[in-house]
Structure 1
Amino acid sequence: MAEKTPLRPVDSYTAQEVMEIAQRAEWRRGEGFIVPPASVPLYVEALKTLARERARG
């Protein structure tokens, strides 16, 4: 069994890390990754927006 990553504050994630999470969510959409499959598009868009904002800042 894979080890879970320790919890981190949301503010500690870099723009690249947030974008990678969004990409994994899209890739694993049908598996219920993080959120129910029907919520994946909204979740992914929110993550991508957050990543863009952090990259600018």
Structure 2
Amino acid sequence: MIMKTPPRSVDSYTAQELRDIAERAEWRRQDGYIVPPASVPIYVEALRALARERARG
């Protein structure tokens, strides 16, 4: 049986974790990973912007 982990608040992700999620979303775009395929570009850009802000401190 696969156990799902509880959802995390976006505030708990590090800049690197956000970049990793963005990369996976692009890679799995056609699978509907996280968001519908047509929404992936804006989702990825938002994650990367948040990662940049988080990296600045």
Same fold at TM > 0.5: yes
Structure 1 unmatched runs, 5+: none
The residue number in structure 2 matching 1:24 is 24
Task: Please tell me the root mean square deviation across aligned C-alpha atoms, in Å.
Answer: 1.3
SS at match of 2:7: coil
Deviations 1:2-42 (A, max 9, x none): 54332111101000000100000000001001100000000
Look up the equivalent residue of 1:46 and give its one-letter code. A
Structure 2 unmatched runs, 5+: none
TM-score between both structures, scaled by the size of structure 1: 0.90
Q: Identity rate of aligned residues, in percent?
A: 75
The residue number in structure 1 matching 2:45 is 45
Regions of 4+ moved over 3 Å? none
Q: 1:3 to 1:27 in 2, by over 3 A?
A: farther
